[in-house]
Chain A
Amino acid sequence: MLIYVLRRLVQSFIVLLIVMLFIFTLPYFEPNGILAPAYIVLGTHATPQTIHLWGVQNGMFHPFFVRFWNYLLQVFVHFNLGHSYKQNMSVWGIISLYVPRTIWLALSSLLLTVFIALPLGVYQASRRNSTFDYTATSVAFILYGVPSFLLGILVLQFFSFGWPHLPASPPGGVSPWAMFTDPAGFILPVLTLTLLSIAFLSRFMRSAVLEVLVQDYVRTAKGKGCSQSRVLFRHALRNALGPIVIILGLYIPQLLGGAVVIESVFNYSGLGIQTVNAAATLDIPTVLGITLLVAILTLFGNFLADIMLGVVNPRVRIERSGQ
């Protein structure tokens, strides 16, 4: 098991390096080259001299590999993500301000999704082809076709401008604990993100349970007289959880990508809006820092999903210790 964990860690580190190399190389393809941010930072009155000076100050004229090596040293040895080109803040400052806000949004909707989508999928599978199953499936299908921003707009229209007057946007500012001090503002964004995730997950859960329900051990469980709920929740659910755990691990980047849109619909200053702004102004250190963070989160999520797979499925555990 330890060897397995170590191997996964090394693999994840290599994947991180590839991510960094990729994002680091992208600005070289800009028509103005890596000096392009200078035009944005210095504004319209920039002269060739000031732009050159900016390039010298930011070490832009070193060869590509020297720059990449310096960046790696800076990140992994000095634990410094650098300084934003556009905002007068360190990248870590930006991240530490906005990450908690996005994490609360994503985490709360993820928890709600798991608590709603899993039982929903199990119930749908157990009442297969019933009216409820058809209704839930078609609702999920339509929700799947609605882009996240449109769902946000519709939710705003019906729950904020309509009769139940809920706040249209969460409290402003950068307080990380806003979700607990003023929860009313968070109902709509979390609801929207949750609806989107449920549409995504409940379909997988339904088909995973359906696949398990035809297995021999489920028939055996029924045959030895287990109650319906015991069969569903003790035998079927546990075995269906395997693929779901993996999908949840892979869902993290999608969830954070969804948060970008939800944040801009509900005007919630979080990591998503920061990323959009940083990318639009070619603030490469910020984009790199945030992408690195998201990649680490994703890899950690996949790693956790793998460990969880061993927890929910003893067969996987034995397979791994046997290798």
Chain B
Amino acid sequence: MSQSNEPSSAAVIDTNANETNLSEQIVPMWRQRLRIFTHNKLAIASLLFIVALVLFCYLGPVLYHTNQTDQAAALNVAWNAPPSLHHLLGTDSSGFDVLGRIMYGGEYSLSLGILAGIITIIVGTIYGMISGFLGGIVDTVMMRILDAFLSIPILFLLITLIAIFQRSTVFLILIIGTTLWFGNARIIRGDALLIKKLEYSQAATAMGGSKWHIIKRHVFPNSMSNIVTVATFSVADAILFLSTLGFLGLGIPAPQTDWGTMMQNGATQQPNGYWWEIYPTAVVFVLLIVAITYVGEALRDAFEVRLLER
């Protein structure tokens, strides 16, 4: 990636403040990165949206009481009722309040997506680090295994795994988490390969540092930026795949729900003109994915060394 000799951040600041006392002028790295991130207005808006959505999903039910789990009680409510004062976004085909359902389904979509995303990044990081750092025959074998996984469409793999295991929440997290890490492992491996060859790692090796020590103190902290960025995209991917599974009828079993399952139910009612059962969920969902992706892009920019001098 970095063919040119990039100026280190210290050198950049050095040229900016050549007359004054240097120690006063050095801005910590994280603050420079924060500044680049906050320069990006859209990223801040996205971050605020994500926070607002999380609050809406987890604190909303406290303010807006609805029945979301009792299917028998929901049968007494008018089904497919249009939005009214009583049900702000109407009711769905089972009689559940749609606005409350968005909060309730959002809790599952968000928590499953985030947990599965964290699993993918942990597994991917460990696999990529080992493969890239050890190199040689271990790397070749591990990469061929990765090639094998990458040549199966992820959706096929997910469907097969869900057919074999159960459709419970825990298994969905584990299944999505263990099928989406292949791409992450490849990125982290590239990073580990690169950092291993850099001077400071070689110096540490020359001074007799063990492999574990070099991974822990040099390779891992220096690829942290990539790990964080990749993790953001992984969460978006996990939420997307969960919704696709929900659409195929393989999501969280009723009466629990997630946004994908809700959109699937809404899609069957949409030809009847019951727009409130699909469009509000769809808008929230798409905005969330776009926001997460945008935060990821902004993080990537913030960690980009070449932009530090801005």
Bound: A36/B166 CA distance, A: 13
Assess whether A144 is interfacial by the CB under 8 Å rule.
yes
Assess whether A267 is interfacial by the CB under 8 Å rule.
no
Give every chain B residue within 8 A of A15 (Cβ-Cβ).
144, 147-148, 151
Give every chain B residue within 8 A of A149 (Cβ-Cβ).
243-244, 247, 260, 263-264, 267
A146 touches B156 (CB 8 A): no
Bound: A141/B244 CA distance, A: 19
A27, A147, A250, A279: the one within 8 Å of B156 (CB): A279
Give every chain B residue within 8 A of A298 (Cβ-Cβ).
150-152
Among A29, A150, A298, the one with the most B-chain Cβ atoms within 10 Å of its Cβ is A150
A260 touches B163 (CB 8 A): no
The DSSP consensus for interface residues of chain A is: helix
- CB-defined interface of B139-169 with A at 8 Å, one 1/0 digit per residue? 0000011011111111110011111110000
Assess whether A61 is interfacial by the CB under 8 Å rule.
no
Bound: A148/B155 CA distance, A: 12
**Which of B12-20, B68-76, B206-214, B278-286 participates in binding chain A?**
B278-286
A147 touches B145 (CB 8 A): no
- In the assembled complex, the CB of B40 is this many whole angstroms from the nearest CB of chain A, namely 14
Bound: A14/B159 CA distance, A: 24
Bound: A38/B308 CA distance, A: 62
Give every chain A residue within 8 A of B285 (Cβ-Cβ).
147, 150
Tell me the residues in window 118-148 of chain A with beta carbons closer than 8 Å to chain B beta carbons.
141-142, 144-148
Known: A19-B152, A147-B260. A141 touches B290 (CB 8 A): yes
B243 touches A253 (CB 8 A): no
- In the assembled complex, the CB of A112 is this many whole angstroms from the nearest CB of chain B, namely 20
Among A19, A29, A147, A294, the one with the most B-chain Cβ atoms within 10 Å of its Cβ is A147
B286 touches A150 (CB 8 A): yes
Known: A15-B144, A141-B293, A157-B270. A294 touches B153 (CB 8 A): yes
Give every chain A residue within 8 A of B165 (Cβ-Cβ).
29-30
B293 touches A18 (CB 8 A): no
- In the assembled complex, the CB of B289 is this many whole angstroms from the nearest CB of chain A, namely 4
Give every chain A residue within 8 A of B144 (Cβ-Cβ).
11, 14-15, 18
Assess whether B255 is interfacial by the CB under 8 Å rule.
no
Give every chain A residue within 8 A of B286 (Cβ-Cβ).
142, 145-146, 150
A16, A22, A146, A261: the one within 8 Å of B247 (CB): A261
- In the assembled complex, the CB of A7 is this many whole angstroms from the nearest CB of chain B, namely 12
B244 touches A148 (CB 8 A): yes
- CB-defined interface of B262-294 with A at 8 Å, one 1/0 digit per residue? 011001001100000010001001110110011
Assess whether A280 is interfacial by the CB under 8 Å rule.
yes
Assess whether A232 is interfacial by the CB under 8 Å rule.
no
A264 touches B248 (CB 8 A): yes
Can you list 29 residue pairs at the A/B interface with Cβ under 8 Å? A14-B144, A15-B144, A18-B145, A19-B148, A19-B152, A23-B152, A23-B160, A26-B164, A29-B165, A36-B164, A142-B290, A146-B286, A147-B243, A147-B260, A147-B289, A149-B247, A149-B267, A150-B263, A150-B282, A153-B263, A153-B270, A157-B270, A257-B153, A264-B248, A279-B156, A280-B159, A291-B152, A294-B153, A294-B156
Closest 8 CB pairs of A and B: A257-B153, A145-B289, A18-B148, A298-B151, A257-B155, A145-B290, A253-B153, A149-B247
